[in-house]
Amino acid sequence: TLTSEELKEFKFVRLLNEEPRTKTATILGTLYSQNDSIIVIEKLHFSNDEYEILTKERISQWIPDEKNDIYHWFNGLLNKNEKWPDFKIILIYPATEMHIEKYSYQPRHLVRETPEIYEKVVKPYIESIPKSRIQWVYNILSKKSESEKILLEVEGEEKGFLLFPDMKWDKKTIESLYLQALVYRNDIRSLRDLNGSHLPLLKNLRQQIHEFVPQKYPNVGADELRLFVHYQPSYYHFHVHVTHLRNDIIVGGISIAKAFLLDDIIENLEVFAKDYYERCTLTYVIGENETLFLKLNEAGVKFNSNI
Ligand code: M7G
């Protein structure tokens, strides 16, 4: 094997690829005698036994970035001499039992939700969720929090929305661009509520985002943006996720049976039926710890491929 002294002879030629989400960079270079060499370098995961001391001893600096209700986010340095932050932290404080469930590893299952199951189990569950749980959403809409980060504001009771950076985004790495479009109106709980009357809203949102984002970030084309909604979402005030195509490994969040493309939604409502989402069976993934999963189980809803 080559020694570390020998490897120091590696001369950088050019960057072939970088994947911010997997924390890898692929570099072309030369080693002795001008032979082409490729290095794939990957930041390692925190190791298990480090977690206990991680926050207490290893982090030398937390740099506050933003706060909204119980959500606080920071950038940080592990080593004081670092030139730029080497990690990003989301702190939920105080966290409820629901947060602990959501953020814990959990086995997942597919559900096939018929309109009847929606009416009987899902809708009452959504209606039982206290509004206070989405205080952070109202803070954004009323400009109490994150107002200086709003990227685009489209007025109008029916078609209006706000576009702003998702808390998962570091706000600078274009390949991992992640924005949220949050509508002003509060009468759409989720995908299930969408019907033909919402087409002007959905189309306006799509068009405005496709025009605005490439202007704001000139290295991003409209055809490099993925616009989608989650079903089930974690909060029931209608919002659309906007991500860069390269940002395609967000665990679960972009996978089939969780993310539904805005283009397909518009198509289904426009070409097939205005009440498509009222009548269709929706198949989606749900975690075992989620309250809705428990409710579905209590109601005896079994995964059924014959529906
Ligand atoms: P979702 O589809 O309801 O479910 O998306 P998910 O949380 O299972 O993905 C909510 C989205 O809003 C997520 O992408 C979150 O990262 C983002 N988000 C959540 N909170 C609490 C905040 C916040 O306070 N500020 C911002 N900017 N984004 C948030």
Taking CA atoms only, the protein residue closest to ligand 1 atom 10 is 234
Specify whether 153 is located in the same domain as 124.
Answer: yes
Atom of ligand 1 at shortest range from CA of 230: 2
71 lines ligand 1 (CB under 6 A): yes
In terms of residue numbers, what domain contains 266?
106-298
Would you say 244 and 153 are in contact if contact means Cβ atoms under 8 Å apart?
Answer: no
pLDDT of 179 higher than 90? yes
Strands (E), the chain: 11-19, 24-31, 35-42, 61-68, 71-77, 87-92, 108-113, 152-154, 161-165, 178-183, 225-230, 239-244, 259-261, 282-287
Would you say 183 and 235 are in contact if contact means Cβ atoms under 8 Å apart?
Answer: no
Specify whether 123 is located in the same domain as 256.
Answer: yes
Q: What is the pLDDT of residue 217?
A: 97
Q: β-strands 35-42, 24-31: how paired?
A: antiparallel
Ligand 1 binding pocket mutation candidate from 167, 229, 240, 289 (most atoms within 8 A of CB): 167
For residue 167, how far is its CA from the centre of ligand 1 (angstroms)? Answer: 7
Q: What is the pLDDT of residue 199?
A: 98
pLDDT of 273-298, one tens digit each? Answer: 999 999 999 999 999 999 999 999 99
For this complex, say whether ipTM is above 0.90.
yes
Taking the CB of residue 233, how many other CB atoms lie within 10 A of it? 16
Residue 250 to residue 261: CA distance in whole angstroms: 16
Residue 115 to residue 97: CA distance in whole angstroms: 29
Specify whether 181 is located in the same domain as 248.
Answer: yes
Higher pLDDT among residues 227 and 46, named by residue: 227
287 lines ligand 1 (CB under 6 A): no
120 lines ligand 1 (CB under 6 A): no
101 domain residue, yes or no: no
Q: What is the pLDDT of residue 251?
A: 59
Specify whether 31 is located in the same domain as 111.
Answer: no
301 lines ligand 1 (CB under 6 A): no
pLDDT band at 22 (very low <50, low <70, confident <90, very high): confident
For 81, list phi and psi in degrees, rounded to 5: -85, 0
Q: What is the pLDDT of residue 250?
A: 63
Specify whether 181 is located in the same domain as 55.
Answer: no
**Tokens read off for 103:** 């953020």
For residue 133, how far is its CA from the centre of ligand 1 (angstroms)? Answer: 12
Q: β-strands 225-230, 24-31: how paired?
A: unpaired
For residue 99, how far is its CA from the centre of ligand 1 (angstroms)? Answer: 12
255 lines ligand 1 (CB under 6 A): no
Over residues 42-65, the mean pLDDT reads: 84
Q: What is the pLDDT of residue 200?
A: 97
Residues annotated as part of the active site: 239
Specify whether 228 is located in the same domain as 85.
Answer: no
pLDDT of 237-259, one tens digit each? Answer: 999 999 999 887 665 677 888 99
Specify whether 183 is located in the same domain as 251.
Answer: yes
pLDDT of 56 higher than 70? yes
Taking CA atoms only, the protein residue closest to ligand 1 atom 13 is 166
261: region left, alpha or beta (phi > 0 left; psi from -120 to 50 alpha): beta
Q: What is the pLDDT of residue 59?
A: 83
Report percent pLDDT > 90 for the chain: 72
Specify whether 113 is located in the same domain as 260.
Answer: yes
**Tokens read off for 45:** 């995961």
Best CA proximity match to 63, nearest among 91, 35, 37:
91
For residue 150, how far is its CA from the centre of ligand 1 (angstroms)? Answer: 15
Over residues 164-189, the mean pLDDT reads: 94
The percent of the chain in helix, strand and coil, each rounded to the nearest 5, is 35, 30, 40
Specify whether 29 is located in the same domain as 132.
Answer: no
Q: Which residues contact 205 (CB under 8 A, 6 or more apart)?
A: 154, 159, 161, 181, 183, 240, 262
What is the DSSP-derived secondary structure letter of residue 160? -
pLDDT of 69-117, one tens digit each? Answer: 999 999 988 888 888 888 889 999 999 988 998 899 999 999 999 999 9
pLDDT of 123-170, one tens digit each? Answer: 999 999 998 889 999 999 999 999 999 999 999 999 999 999 999 999
